[in-house]
Amino acid sequence: LKISLETKADFGRIAAQTAKQVILQKIKEVEKEETYKEFRDKQGTIVSGIVQRIEQTVIFVDIGRTSGILPKSEQVRGEFYKLGQRLKLYVLKTEETPKGPQVVLSRDYPKLISKLFELEVPEIGADQVEIKSIARESCSRSKVAVEAKEEGIDPIGSLVGQRGTRILAVTIEL
């Protein structure tokens, strides 16, 4: 498609540079808004991320389109993180900041355990087994109360799995 362009004197180098900057700025704003919407919808779920940078009070984790922060208060006491380490994290909240969306992550939140079980145990996803309650002492132990919603299903056995495979997968992730 060819369209002839009228030549004008103000189509100089500076005008072209200004137009380029305006277009790039609009693209960045749209990307920030889309990232915020994506992670706002993921609030209360689990995301997988890779440790990017470790600082004194916070760890920065690459979670796809953006970096999430794992504050000291949401880290498991006694857990050590390495650069490049892959983690499963609970999305606590997403905030809009002047620099873009800020995703706050957690490894300590009790719901992390229920979400890990939802990923590992198909009976929970099929609504045959329900997690009633979770008590968690970070870094040491967790207790999970479960109930079967259908007759003939062993709720504890479904969470433990054959020879403990399901519970082992969740334990390794924690």
pLDDT at 8: 67
Number of alpha carbons in the 13 Å side-chain half-sphere of residue 126? 11
pLDDT at 24: 93
Stated pTM of the model: 0.68
Per-residue tokens: 9: 């004197």
Burial class (CB in 10 A: 0-12, 13-18, 19+), 90: buried
> Tens digit of pLDDT for each residue in 89-115?
888 888 887 777 788 888 888 787 778
pLDDT at 9: 65
pLDDT at 131: 81
**Which residues of the chain fall short of a pLDDT of 70?**
7-11, 139
